[in-house]
Amino acid sequence: MKADPLLDLKSKLFLALLVAAAIVVPMANLVAAPGSDFYLPSFAVALFGKYLTYALLALSVDLIWGYCGILSLGHGAFFALGGYAMGMHLMREIGPRGVYGDPVLPDFMVFLDWKELPWFWWGFDQFWFACLMVLLVPGGLAFVFGWLAFRSRVTGVYLSIITQAMTYALMLAFFRNDMGFGGNNGLTDFRDVLGFDLRSDATRAGLFVASAAALGLGYLLARRVTTSRAGKVLVSVRDAEARARFLGYRVEGYKLMVFTLSAMMAGVAGALYVPQVGIINPGEFSPANSIEIVIWVAVGGRGLLLGAVLGAILVNGAKTLLTGWVPEIWIFVLGLIFVLVTLFLPKGVLGAFGTLSWRSGGARRGASAQPAE
C-alpha cells in the first residue's frame, strides 16, 4: 500500500509553471523595453495577479465541494471579508494624504461627520494586525456558521441556500453607511502598502509574485490535507456520510475543519485581490459572485484541485476577452459554458482531458470527481 505522495507529477509541473510565471511576468514588465515584443503592459500584470487570487479562491471552494461535498454558494463572502480587512489597512495607510487631510479618519468617515474611529477599525494601522484579521475574520465566521450548520446536520441544497443567505445578508449590511465600511462606495483611493506605492510597476510585480506564492502555498496545503488520512475521511463523508458516522467519525468536526480552512484561504485571496484592483465594495458579497466561483470549479473539474485553478483562469480569461469585445453577451456565454460543461464534460476540462493522458500511465486517482449533486 503506497501512500499518495504529496508531490505527484502534476503538482510538480504546476508548481514549476507557477514559479516560471512569477519570474517571467514581472521581468516582461520591468526589464523589457516598452514597445518590444516581450513587453507586458502594467495593467496585464495586475490582471494576471487578479486571476491568481481567483484561482486561490476556486481552490478553496474545491477543497470543500470537491472533497467534502459541501457546496458553498457564499464563499465570495469570505473572499470579500479578507478583502475588507486588507482594505481597512490600506485606508489607514493613506493617513493625512486623504481629500480631507484627517490624519486618522478615512475620508468617508469625515464626510459622514464621524468624530472618532470606530472600535472595529482599531489596530488596522498595523500591517501584521490586518494580516491576522485576513485569516481570523473569515475563519471565525466560517467556524461559527459551520458549527451551527453542521451540528444541526444541515446538508446538501439547504446548506447551499443558507450560505447564499449569509453572503446576501452581509452585502446588505455592508451597503449601509453606518456599518462603518464606506457603504456603497466601499474602500478605495489606496496609496501604498508597507511604504510601496501601489501605482508603481514594481509594487504591482511584487503583488503578482505574492499572489503566485499564496496560490502555491494554498495548493500545497490543500494537497497536504487531501492526501492525508483525514482527506480520505473527507471523501468518505462526501460519498457516504452515514457510513462515516457509524464508523465512529465525528463528521461535523471534519466538515468544520475543512470549511474553516477553506474560508481562511478565500480570505487570503481577497486580501491579495484588493490592492491589485484598487477597490473593495459590497458588490463583492453579491450572491452571483459566489455562484460564479462554483462555475469556475465545475468548468475546470471538481475534486482535482488543479481543475479549480485551471477553471478560474480559463473562465476569467474568457470573461476579460469577451467583455472587451461584446460586453452584453458575457453573462449568456457564462451560462452556456456551464450548461455545456455539465452536459458534456461532467468531470470538467481537466477531469475529461487530464485522465486521457494519465490513465495510460497506470496512475489511479484516489478521489475522483463525482457528478454534481
Partner 1 sequence: MEFARGSMLYLDDVSVSFDGFKAINGLSLMLAPGEMRAVIGPNGAGKTTMMDIITGKTRPDHGDVIFDQSIDLTRHDETDIARMGIGRKFQKPTVFETHTVADNLLLSLAGKRGVFETLLAQITGAEARRIEEILETIRLEERRDDLAADLSHGQKQWLEIGMLLAQDPKVLLVDEPAAGMTDAETMATADLLKRIAGEHTVMVVEHDMEFVRALGVKVTVLNEGSVLAEGSLDHVSADPHVIESYLGR
Q: Which residues contact 20 (CB under 8 A, 6 or more apart)?
A: none
Helix (H) / strand (E) element for 187: namely: strand 187-188
- In terms of Cβ atoms closer than 10 Å to its own Cβ (0-12, 13-18, 19+), residue 171 is buried
Site for partner 1 in 186-225 (CB under 8 A): 225
**CA 229 to CA 241: how far, in whole Å?**
16
- Alpha-carbon distances, residue 258 vs 2, 52, 97, 246, 282 (angstroms): 24, 21, 42, 20, 26
Looking at the Cβ atoms of 176 and 243, the one nearer to partner 1 is 243
Looking at the Cβ atoms of 69 and 138, the one nearer to partner 1 is 69
Looking at the Cβ atoms of 115 and 364, the one nearer to partner 1 is 364
Looking at the Cβ atoms of 97 and 243, the one nearer to partner 1 is 243
Rg value, the chain, Cα:
21
131-154: b (≥16 Cβ within 10 Å) or e: bebbbbbbbebbbebbbebbeeeb
Q: What are phi and psi of 279, to 5 degrees?
A: -155, 150
Closest separation in Å from C-beta 6 to partner 1: 12
Closest separation in Å from C-beta 102 to partner 1: 47
Greatest Cα pair distance, the chain, in angstroms, is: 68
Site for partner 1 in 218-277 (CB under 8 A): 225, 228-230, 232-233, 235-236, 239-240, 242-243, 245-251, 253-254, 257
Closest separation in Å from C-beta 3 to partner 1: 7
33 binds partner 1 (CB under 8 A): no
Closest separation in Å from C-beta 1 to partner 1: 5
Looking at the Cβ atoms of 108 and 259, the one nearer to partner 1 is 259
Closest separation in Å from C-beta 59 to partner 1: 18
Closest separation in Å from C-beta 372 to partner 1: 15
| Total residues at interface with partner 1 (CB under 8 A) | 29
CA dihedral 50, 16, 40, 289 (to 10 degrees): -20
Three cell numbers, residue 147 = 458549527
| x/- map, 69-108, partner 1, by CB under 8 A | ----------------------------------------
341 touches 298 (CB < 8 A): yes
Site for partner 1 in 335-364 (CB under 8 A): 364
Closest separation in Å from C-beta 44 to partner 1: 39
Looking at the Cβ atoms of 297 and 367, the one nearer to partner 1 is 367
Q: Contact positions toward partner 1, by CB under 8 A?
A: 1, 3, 225, 228-230, 232-233, 235-236, 239-240, 242-243, 245-251, 253-254, 257, 364, 366-368, 370
